[in-house]
Structure 1
Amino acid sequence: MKNRKRMTAVILAAITAVSLTACSGSAGQSAASSSDGGASAGEESYKIGVLQYATHGSLDNCYEGLLLGLEEEGLIEGQNLEVEFQNAQNDTGNSDMIAKNMVAEQVDLFVGIATPAAMSGYSAAKDTDIPVVFTAVSDPVSTGLVQSLETPGTNCTGTSDVLPLEEQVKMIRAFLPDADTIGIIYTTSEPNSISQLETLKSIAPEYGFTITEAGVTNSSEVAAAAATVIAQGADCINNFTDNNVVDNLSIVLQAANEAGIPVFGSEIEQVKNGCLASQSIDYVALGEETGRMAARVLRGESASEIPVFTVEDCVPVYNEEVLASLGLTLPEGFEDAQEVSADAE
C-alpha cells in the first residue's frame, strides 16, 4: 500500500512539472507571436510595403489578388506577414515619398501596383538590397524596371498587363463596322500609355482606322482632351490602362455620351462603369501570380532571375445597357461574350 502511495506521488509530481513547463512554453510562444505579427515561435515572418498608385477597379483587383497569391504560398497577413499598404492617390509626388518611407523602414519587399508606383519603388530601392515586385505594368522594359522580360537583370520582377490591342481593334471594328476614327486620350508622362499608343497606331490601319489623340499632363486636362478628340471626328474613344484617364472615366463617359459615341474600356471594371466593351484581362488572377512571385523572392530567389509574367488570355465583355442606349446589337462572333453591368460582382 505504501509503495502504491509513493508511486502515485511520483507520478503526480511528474505531471505537475510537465504542466509548469508547458505553461512556460505557451507564454513564450505567445510573446513571440505578438512580436512578429502572429507567426508561431521559430517561423520566419516578413514585412512588405505595398504601394498602389491610384484607386480604381483594376488596381484594387490586383491588390486583392496579391494577398490571395501570398496566402496560397502560406504567407498570411496577421500571422507570418505584415503588410503596409499605401495609396498614392494618383499623385507622383506622393508615390515617390511613400516609396522612400517604405524603403527607409527596411521592408523585406516592395510591391508596386501600376507603373508609377513600381517606378517610385525601384528608384527608392535601387541602392539597397530590397527587391521590388510589380504588377499592372504594361511595358516594364521601356520603363527601365527590367532589362528584358525573360531575364530582368535588376532586383526587380513582376507581372505585366500588356493590352491585347489587336484583339481590341478587331472588337471595335465588329461593333462599329462603319467607323473610321478611334480617339485616344493618354498621359504624356506615362511610358505605358506612349508605348500602347505607338502599338495601336501600327495596328489600326490594318483594320481601316485612323487615330486621333490628345495628351494630358494631369487629371484636370482630361475633360478638354475628350472634347478635342471628339471635335477631331472620333467615332469612338478607346481607353488604355492610363491612370489619369481611368481615374476620370466618368468625365470621358459624359463627353462621349453627349456626342453619342461609345467608349471602349481596357478591362472589365471600366465596362461595368459605362464603357461599351473590352477585351479584358483578369486583374485578380494577375495579382495572384504577383503574390506567388513575391513569395518566391521573400524565400530567397533572386528577382533578377525570375522572368516577368505576361497575361496571354483575354475575355470579351460588354455592357448590354450601353449597347442598347447606342442602338447597337451584339455583333456576330461575340455571342459568347460576357455581359456585365454596374451591379455585376
Structure 2
Amino acid sequence: MKKKMVSMLLCTGMVLSMLAGCSQAAKLSTVMAAGKETSSSTEELAEGNYKIGIAQFAQHGSLDNCREGFLQGLEEEGFVEGENLEIDYQNSDADMGTAGTIAQGFAAKGVDLMCGIATPAAQACYNAALKTEIPTIYTAVTDPVAAELATEDQMPTGNATGTSDKLPVEAQLKMIRELLPEAKTIGIIYTTSEVNSESTIKEYEALVGEYGFALETVGIATIADVPSAADTILEKVDCLNNLTDNTVVSALPTILDKANKKGIPVFGSEVEQVKIGCLASEGIDYIALGKQTGKMAAQVLKGEMKAEEMPFESITESNLYLNTKVAENLGISVSDEVKDRAAETFTEIEE
C-alpha cells in the first residue's frame, strides 16, 4: 500500500494521503516558498542553473503582462525562478539611454540569455550582445523588420529572435467606425524615436481612407512632450487612437484626463488601456504573447535551437475589449452586436 500513496506537503504542515490506485500520471507536487503555496505545472526542472536578464523598456500594463507570461512560459518548460533560474529584472522607465546601460550591464555580467521587452529594449539587448555569444529573445516588438532584428522572411539578422505584437490596424479601424459612425478624424500621438510607432503610423495612413477617416498625428521626443501634444491634437480630432507606443502609453492617464474634459473618446491598443479608461480596443493577449516568448527562450536555453535559427513569431488573432462605463460617460451608444462580440467588457474605470 505504501507504494500507492502520495504525500503532499501543504502550507499548514498537514500530510494528506491520496487514495490507493491513483495513477502515477495523476501525482501532483507542491512547492513551498516564503510561506506561500505554489504549484509548478512542469513535470521536472530543466537540468542546470541559469541566469536571465530581463530588460523592460517602460512600466505599463501590456509590458508587465508580457513579462508575467514570459516567466509562465519558462516555468512550463522547467525553468523556475528561485530554483534553477535567477532573474535580473530592470526597467528603463522609457529612457533610451537607460535601456542601453541596462543591456550593457547584462552583457558584462555574462547572463545566459537576455529578454528585451518592447522594441527599444530589444534593440539595446541585441546591440549589447553583438560581441558576445549571449542570445536575445524579444517580445512586444511591433515590427522586427523595421527594428532591424529580422529580415522580410522573419529570420533573425543575428543571434536574436522573439515575438511581435503587431497591431490589427484594419480591425481597429473597423471597430472605431462601428462605435463612432459620424467621426471624421482620428488623432494619434507617437514617439518619433520608436520605430514600432513609425511603422504603425504608415499602416494607418494607408488604411484610414478606406473607412472614411482623415488622420492627424503629433510626434513627441520624450514623455514631457505629451501634455502639450495632447492639447494640440485634441483641437483637431473626433477621437484619439493609442498605439503600443511605450512612451505615450506611460502617459496615458494624462491623455485620458484631457480627452475626457473635452468629451473625446480614446481608443486603446490592448486590454489594460481599456481597463483604465479607453473606450475600446482590438488587441492581442499580452500574457499569451509573453508565454509564447518564454517557450522560445526555453528552447534556446535547453540547446534545442539557436536564436539565430528561429524565425520570429506573432499572434494573429485579436480580441475586442470594451468599457461600457466610458461609453456611458461620453454618451456613446454601443450596439448589442458589439457588446456580444467583446471578449471582455468592463463596467467601471480602474484607478
TM normalised by structure 1 equals 0.85
| Matched ranges for 1:224-235 at <5 A | 224-231=228-235, 233-235=236-238
| Code of the aligned partner of 2:302 | R
Note the C-alpha offset of 1:153: 3.9
| Code of the aligned partner of 2:316 | E
2:100 pairs with one of 70, 87, 96: 96
Note the C-alpha offset of 1:332: 5.5
> Which structure carries more helix by proportion?
1
Is 2:189 the partner of 1:189?
no
Is 2:269 the partner of 1:263?
no
**3-state secondary structure, aligned to 2:137:** strand
2:291 pairs with one of 288, 308, 311: 288
**3-state secondary structure, aligned to 1:213:** strand
| Code of the aligned partner of 2:240 | I
Change beyond 3 A, Cα 1:67–1:149: farther
User: Size of the alignment, in residue pairs?
Assistant: 304
Distance, in Å, in 1 between the alignment partners of 2:326 and 2:45 is 56
Note the C-alpha offset of 1:340: 2.0
Contact 1:240 1:266 in 2 (8 A): yes
Contact 1:183 1:211 in 2 (8 A): yes
Distance, in Å, in 1 between the alignment partners of 2:184 and 2:97 is 39
Q: Deviations over 1:98-149 (max 9, x none)?
A: 1101100000100000111101101100111111000000001111112245
Distance, in Å, in 2 between the alignment partners of 1:227 and 1:149 is 41
- What residue number does 2:50 align with? 46
2:112 pairs with one of 89, 103, 108: 108
- What residue number does 1:130 align with? 134
Distance, in Å, in 2 between the alignment partners of 1:318 and 1:78 is 38
Distance, in Å, in 2 between the alignment partners of 1:215 and 1:43 is 48
Note the C-alpha offset of 1:331: 3.0
Change beyond 3 A, Cα 1:213–1:42: closer
Greater C-alpha Rg: 1
Is 2:278 the partner of 1:278?
no
Q: Deviations over 1:182-237 (max 9, x none)?
A: 00100000000000000001010000000001000000111111111112x20000
Q: Alpha carbon RMSD of aligned pairs, Å?
A: 1.6
Distance, in Å, in 1 between the alignment partners of 2:154 and 2:196 is 19
Contact 1:108 1:131 in 2 (8 A): yes
Q: Deviations over 1:289-331 (max 9, x none)?
A: 0100000111221111111111111110111110101111213
TM normalised by structure 2 equals 0.84
Change beyond 3 A, Cα 1:201–1:155: same
Contact 2:103 2:125 in 1 (8 A): yes
Is 2:345 the partner of 1:317?
no
Contact 2:185 2:214 in 1 (8 A): yes
Change beyond 3 A, Cα 1:312–1:128: same
Q: Kindly, what percent of the aligned residue pairs are identical?
A: 50
Contact 2:276 2:349 in 1 (8 A): no
Change beyond 3 A, Cα 1:79–1:201: same
Comparing 156-165 and 252-261, the one that deviates more: 252-261
**3-state secondary structure, aligned to 2:132:** coil
Distance, in Å, in 2 between the alignment partners of 1:67 and 1:314 is 22
Distance, in Å, in 2 between the alignment partners of 1:118 and 1:41 is 27
Is 2:342 the partner of 1:339?
no
| Matched ranges for 1:140-289 at <5 A | 140-231=144-235, 233-289=236-292
Distance, in Å, in 2 between the alignment partners of 1:254 and 1:213 is 19
Contact 1:62 1:136 in 2 (8 A): yes
Note the C-alpha offset of 1:247: 0.2
In structure 2, stretches of 5+ residues that fail to align are 1-43
Distance, in Å, in 2 between the alignment partners of 1:42 and 1:257 is 50
- What residue number does 2:32 align with? none
| Code of the aligned partner of 1:259 | K
Note the C-alpha offset of 1:42: 10
Is 2:99 the partner of 1:69?
no
In structure 1, stretches of 5+ residues that fail to align are 1-39
Distance, in Å, in 1 between the alignment partners of 2:92 and 2:347 is 28
**3-state secondary structure, aligned to 2:337:** coil
Distance, in Å, in 2 between the alignment partners of 1:275 and 1:55 is 18
1:121 pairs with one of 125, 128, 144: 125
| Code of the aligned partner of 2:299 | R
Contact 1:135 1:161 in 2 (8 A): yes
